[in-house]
Chains A and B, each alone.
Chain A
Amino acid sequence: MSLRIKQNLSLLLIAALAISQSACSKEKAAALKTAADSFRVEAEAALEETAELLTSSFTSRPRPRDAELEDIARELRANEYTEQQLVIFLEEKLRSQDPAGSASKNIEQELSELQAEYRLFASMFRSLPRGYLFTKNTVTRAERHAARLTYRMVKMAKSIDENPIENLSARAELISKIIDARSLPDQTSRDRKLTAIANEVIDLRSSEVSSNNNLKIQLLKAAEAGKTVIELIRNFDKWSVADILNAVGDSLKTLDELDGGDHAKVKKLIAKYDEFVESQLRTDKVWSEALNNQTGNK
């Protein structure tokens, strides 16, 4: 047999092998890519929600135009401002930035940098369904990154559980309303106003509890999606397509079950996920290597 025929036959054999493996491995690769994308989507949503809740917690609501108009006119009627004072008055009134602007920008920037990490993580797998034949060892290297990014989501949920985000500007607004109500000369109006404020206090409590719970759930959803990615990476070569699809199915079911629930249920879930990551950190080499230099581990 000539060398040329031998070469062609070898190529044919390689190609036949590759194609015979391709249907099954391609599905596994596509499942891993989808799981990594789902991790990114859930984590980005969690970080977006964190930024929104944090910035809105200290940003005052803009005053309605009519109320502001009345304030400006009253202030100008009541004070004989000098020219210098009028310059400062106008400077302050015409400022476009709220005092919370710089802090909000910092929070948005920090959290958007974290979002970029999750985008980079998902992008690692973008070509996997087209390149699974030559990526066995490369895929394994992604596990430590998945562990670190998942750990962060669980710790963020735990941090919010321990120190819920309080709506500071709404609290300040209520205090201001109480001061105004107490200065009303008529007892009946004063009582009526204070009862209305009492209702607002209870509403604020419900709103704070519910927004914190929603955020914690979203962080746990991201952690669950991250947990699935870790399992898929770890078992990418061992598992069959059916195993992988089962794992993805179980994860989707868990994500669905995470929705809703009261404060006690959310607390229990956080404890469950925290126990999982802490036990991984103690017992698993990949996890401990990925996180052993982190200063905040508790």
Chain B
Amino acid sequence: MNNETKMLQEISRNVTLLEVKFQRASTLERAELRSSLEGLLNEYARFRIGLLTNGVTTTEADLAEMREIRDLIDKAANKQSMLFAIARTIGFLAARF
């Protein structure tokens, strides 16, 4: 069992125990426990997301390049449409004269 798995197991057990306590508590006790439970659940969520994405991140530069590629292809489409329109016009004129 690696350290991440051990850590996840520990947080998961703590969440389960606190959820049991919260479920069985009176309303006033719940009001006291609420912020601890919220904090622990946030910690669990953060840890899980970290494990899942495994450090594979998309940087701002990656996002910018993807947008640039999209814009270049969009522009190429406009250029191609224009070329085809010219070709059609020439074809039409060539057929008439």
Contacts and interface: CB of A to CB of B under 8 A. Distances in A.
A84 to B, nearest CB: 10
Q: For this complex, into which size category does the number of interface residues on chain A fall?
A: 35 or more
A220 to B, nearest CB: 15
Given A145-B65, A176-B24, A130 B90 contact: no
Contacts of B90: 8, 11-12, 15
B77 A127 contact: yes
Interface string B29-67: 011001001100110111011011111111000110111
A291 B54 CA distance: 12
A146 to B, nearest CB: 10
A179 B20 CA distance: 10
B15 A159 contact: no
Contacts, number: 196
The bracket for how many chain B residues form the interface is 35 or more
Contacts of A133: 76, 80, 83
A161 B8 CA distance: 14
Chain B, interface SS category: helix
Contacts of B23: 60, 172-173, 176
Contacts of A110: 49, 53
Contact of A179 (B24, B34, B48, B69): B24
A103 B5 CA distance: 20
A126 interface: yes
Interface string B82-94: 0110110011001
Contacts of B28: 81, 85, 88-89, 92
Given A179-B24, A296-B56, A131 B16 contact: no
Nearest to A104: B45
Tell me the interface secondary structure of chain A in the complex.
helix
A147 B76 CA distance: 24
A121 B86 CA distance: 32
A274 B80 CA distance: 40
B70 A123 contact: yes
Nearest to A157: B52
Interface string A103-115: 1101100110010
A128 to B, nearest CB: 6
A102 B42 contact: yes
Nearest to B23: A176
Given A19-B84, A106-B45, A148 B58 contact: yes
Contacts of B31: 88-89, 91-92
A194 interface: no
A283 interface: no
A102 B73 contact: no
Contacts of A297: 55
Contacts of B27: 72, 75, 88-89, 92-93
Of all A-B residue pairs in the complex, the 6 with the closest CB atoms, nearest first, are A296-B55, A15-B87, A131-B77, A131-B76, A172-B19, A127-B77
16 contacts: A19-B87, A58-B15, A58-B44, A81-B28, A92-B27, A92-B30, A99-B41, A106-B42, A106-B49, A126-B73, A128-B73, A155-B56, A158-B54, A162-B5, A163-B4, A163-B8
Interface of B: 4-5, 8, 12, 15-17, 19-20, 22-24, 26-28, 30-31, 34, 37-38, 41-42, 44-46, 48-49, 51-58, 62-63, 65-67, 69-70, 72-81, 83-84, 86-87, 90-91, 94
Given A60-B19, A138-B73, A159-B54, 7 more contacts: A18-B87, A72-B27, A89-B28, A127-B77, A133-B76, A135-B76, A155-B56
